[in-house]
Amino acid sequence: MDPQIHTHESTPASRPLASMTAETLLTRDFDSRPALVYERLRGKYGAVAPVDLLGVPVWLVLGYAEVLEVLRNDRGIWSKNPDDWPAFGKGEVPADWPLRPTYASRGVSYSEGREHAEFREMWSAALRPFQDRSQPQARLLEEEVRRYADELLSLLAESGQSGWADLSAQYVRPLMLMVCNRLIGFGVGTEEALMDMWRVTDAGPDAPEATARLAAMLTEVIVAKRQQPGDDLTSAMLAARADLPVEQLAAEIGMLLGVVGDLTGSLICNTIVEVIVGNTAARASLAGGMVRETVNRAAMANPANNNLTLRFATADTVLGGTVIMAGDPVMLSVAAAHADPRFAQALDPSSVHSSRAHLAWGAGPHQCPGDELATTLVTIAVERLFERMAGLELALPADQLPWRASPIMRGLRALPVRFRLREFPPQAPVPATGDEPRAEAEGPAAGTVSRSTLSRLVRALLRQRS
Ligand code: HEM
């Protein structure tokens, strides 16, 4: 830890965050046009701006170099552990603060030091077989996800070769819930688990009860997998950390709903939108079969994890010319960092391969350990969709798309499209990248879900939408 204030000649005077008249971050403008909000804040304050985050004052970091500096945390002064947030400990954060539940369990995301390293080892070890594409489990998972995707697209076709659909409710959300179901290893009771996962990720009025039921189901699964391990992430986590109490393991596995159900699902929708309306380079790479490249472009242009959960300064410091005092919370804006002219103007728009120096997966000690899996899932979902479509367009003007109101996620509530399916759909699934040899499916699929279950799930999701 460095207890010194980092000084340079023009060190600004320090002002307590709470004394600054912070602007409300979450406005209607932020929901519909966040880029304008970031640019206004950057114009007014520079790389670091005081904002009001749902009633709590925080520093929003907008500069690419500053976001990267905090993420790398070379001086060890930034902590994600809420114990380093005095206002939280002193009860100054309202009991009904909407982001409070994220701190219910410490886990990998909100721990530091040795505790964090142990959680990360578990995640890395457990994820490896599912995201290292040279491993049979990873290839099997890919085949299964392709099959789920094709089944869902076939359900679309049941109401006609062309028509209107909400791709979020009818394709992306159920697909990602199927992946959660597969990774968690829910066997019996899959349909109830899928519906409760949907209710939890939808955060509607029935979410609390669904969360409780899901927690009970997760506990049951963990107990069962301890007796009889399966080919799933739960069993792989148990193998990596046999010592972890069931509730803690359940909380870690529960993260899948957020990172797969919400974040990965959002990146799929954002990639589809990017291809349809946004970015000619994204469309060109898709047309050239470079689907992973398309996903990279979408992750940079419209990152699903647009702002990261809070970090706390453990010592007074200066960031981008602003004095941050020990205990102050900062929120890193990945989306604003990508739009920072110091980063954006250095990119070569004509390059076939887009930059990998973006921060959509974070960086440093908390960098996303599941980025390969996420990229593969998005790649398969996007590829199967466009393989099957002869025509696809938004059913709403792009600036009227219904974005979810969230400070930490850029995702759509619905993705209404008009589609026209190909008359003769491709018979065999193609590889996820378009540029690697096809993996052979090995063995029977675990966690298979019948078409009728899928169909019921989609109908239920649509009913909840209407
Ligand atoms: C498009 C989908 C995803 C995006 C955009 C994303 C992005 C991120 C980012 C930016 C972080 C760093 C957060 C921070 O530094 O505050 C992170 C952390 C994490 N991600 Fe992902 N992620 C995605 C999917 C996944 C998947 C599929 C998994 C695993 C199945 C996963 C597991 C994790 C875990 C466990 C952490 C916490 C790591 C730590 O704190 O050490 N993510 N993710």
Q: Report the amino acid identity of residue 63.
A: G
Q: Whose CA is nearest to atom 26 of ligand 1?
A: 370
Per residue in 334-355, pLDDT tens? 999 999 999 998 888 778 788 8
Q: Whose CA is nearest to atom 27 of ligand 1?
A: 374
State which of 78, 255, 259, 260 you would mutate to test the pocket of ligand 1, scoring each by most atoms of that ligand within 8 A of its C-beta. Answer: 259
Per residue in 258-275, pLDDT tens? 899 999 999 999 999 999
Atom of ligand 1 nearest to the CA of 267: 1
CA of 239 to the centre of ligand 1 (A): 21
Atom of ligand 1 nearest to the CA of 80: 16
CA of 198 to the centre of ligand 1 (A): 20
- Order the strands of the 78-79 sheet from edge to edge: 23-24, 48-53, 56-61, 329-332, 311-313, 78-79
- List the domains of the chain with CATH numbers: 1-104+306-356 (3.30.43.20), 108-297+360-466 (1.10.630.10)
CA of 368 to the centre of ligand 1 (A): 4
Q: Whose CA is nearest to atom 40 of ligand 1?
A: 109
Closest C-alpha to 118, from 38, 237, 284: 237
Q: What is the three-state SS of 88-131? A: HHCCCCCCCCCCHHHHCCCCCCCCCHHHHHHHHHHHHHHHHHHH
- Whether pLDDT at 9 is above 70: no
- Whether pLDDT at 388 is above 50: yes
Residue 12 pLDDT class (50, 70, 90 cuts): low
CA of 6 to the centre of ligand 1 (A): 30
Phi-psi region of 362 (alpha: psi -120 to 50; beta: other; left: phi over 0): left
Q: Whose CA is nearest to atom 6 of ligand 1?
A: 361
CA of 466 to the centre of ligand 1 (A): 31
pLDDT reported for residue 449: 62
State which of 368, 371, 375 you would mutate to test the pocket of ligand 1, scoring each by most atoms of that ligand within 8 A of its C-beta. Answer: 368
Per residue in 110-149, pLDDT tens? 999 999 999 999 999 999 999 998 999 999 999 999 999 9
Residue 189 pLDDT class (50, 70, 90 cuts): low
pLDDT reported for residue 267: 98
Per residue in 366-381, pLDDT tens? 999 999 999 999 999 9
pLDDT reported for residue 186: 85
Atom of ligand 1 nearest to the CA of 303: 5
DSSP assignment letter at 80 = -
CA of 354 to the centre of ligand 1 (A): 21
Burial 240-265 (b: 16+ CB within 10 A, else e): bbeebeeeebbbbbbbbbbbbbbbbb
More confident residue, 171 or 196: 171
CA angle (172, 178, 183) in 5-degree steps: 125
